[in-house]
Amino acid sequence: MRSKTETIIGALRVLAQDIQTQDGVANAAIAEAADRMKELCSELLFYTKLNENFSEASRICAKIYIARNISLSEKDVLSALVEIDKLYREENHN
């Protein structure tokens, strides 16, 4: 059975506080490991979402590219560009 990453991070934080050392180096190393795991998880989540947005933007662009040969109206092009803009504006505000 695999533990959830948040569970491991929490366990590391408890260990960092509870273990007894004279110099505190082990405590600091364990606490830093927990912090870095948390940062990496946040970055992974960010890049996963960015990739999803890129895929959606590619789908929208493909729709524009295909439709331009079928006399796509300016209104439809602008509507598609607004969709792309929303994807990235929402990402930057989260």
Between CA 86 and CA 58 the distance in angstroms is 14
Domain carrying residue 10: 5-93
Q: Cα separations (Å) of 60 from 16, 49, 57, 72, 87?
A: 48, 17, 5, 13, 11
| 13 contact partners, CB below 8 Å, separation of at least 6 | 31, 34
pTM: 0.57
| 94 contact partners, CB below 8 Å, separation of at least 6 | 49
Say if residue 19 is exposed, middle or buried (CB neighbours under 10 Å; 0-12, 13-18, 19+). exposed
The pLDDT tens digits along the chain (94 residues) read 899 999 999 999 999 999 998 999 999 999 999 999 999 999 999 899 888 888 888 888 887 777 666 666 778 778 878 888 887 776 555 4
User: Number of folded domains in the chain?
Assistant: 1
